[in-house]
Amino acid sequence: MSIKSTAITPFLTVTKATDALSFYQRTFNASVLKRFDLEEGKLMANIAIDGADFWLGDEEPENGNFSPETVKGTPVRIILSTKNADVFFERAIQFGAQVICPMTTEEFWRIGKLKDPFGHVWEIGYPL
């Protein structure tokens, strides 16, 4: 999967990601681009519906990621995938964003997490 120069990709947080993945595959013919089976039976997957990709994963309360069932609404984490991740992250801080997790290179991503001045949480990075 190659990254476009800039993209905004939704990450859907659910309580049963394996069931949700099955639903999206059956309902929308979603294809799995990447799948990561995590500890405790949790799942994280990058899937696509007719070429439009998004991420899906189990909620992680310890990381502030809650499902709509838990918060009784629809939470949104905005993932901004861009080759300019470090520049954008630093610029966001400069203009008032609060760092949640600093930019770091993880197993799958170069990524950082912050909250903008309006309360929206952004993960800014790019896949490795």
Can you give the pLDDT of all 128 residues of the chain as single tens digits? 566 678 889 898 989 999 899 988 988 889 999 999 999 999 999 999 978 899 999 999 999 999 888 888 666 788 888 889 999 999 999 999 999 999 999 888 999 999 988 787 889 999 99
* Amino acid in the structure at residue 65: N
Instruction: Tell me the domains of the chain and their CATH numbers.
Output: 6-127 (3.10.180.10)
Dihedral angle at the C-alpha atoms of 34, 40, 62, 106, nearest 10 degrees?
-40
d(CA 98, CA 100): 6
Convert 25-40 to b/e letters by CB count within 10 Å (16 or more is b): eeeeebeeeeeeeeee
Res 4: pLDDT = 64
Positive/negative CA dihedral, 25, 128, 13, 15: positive
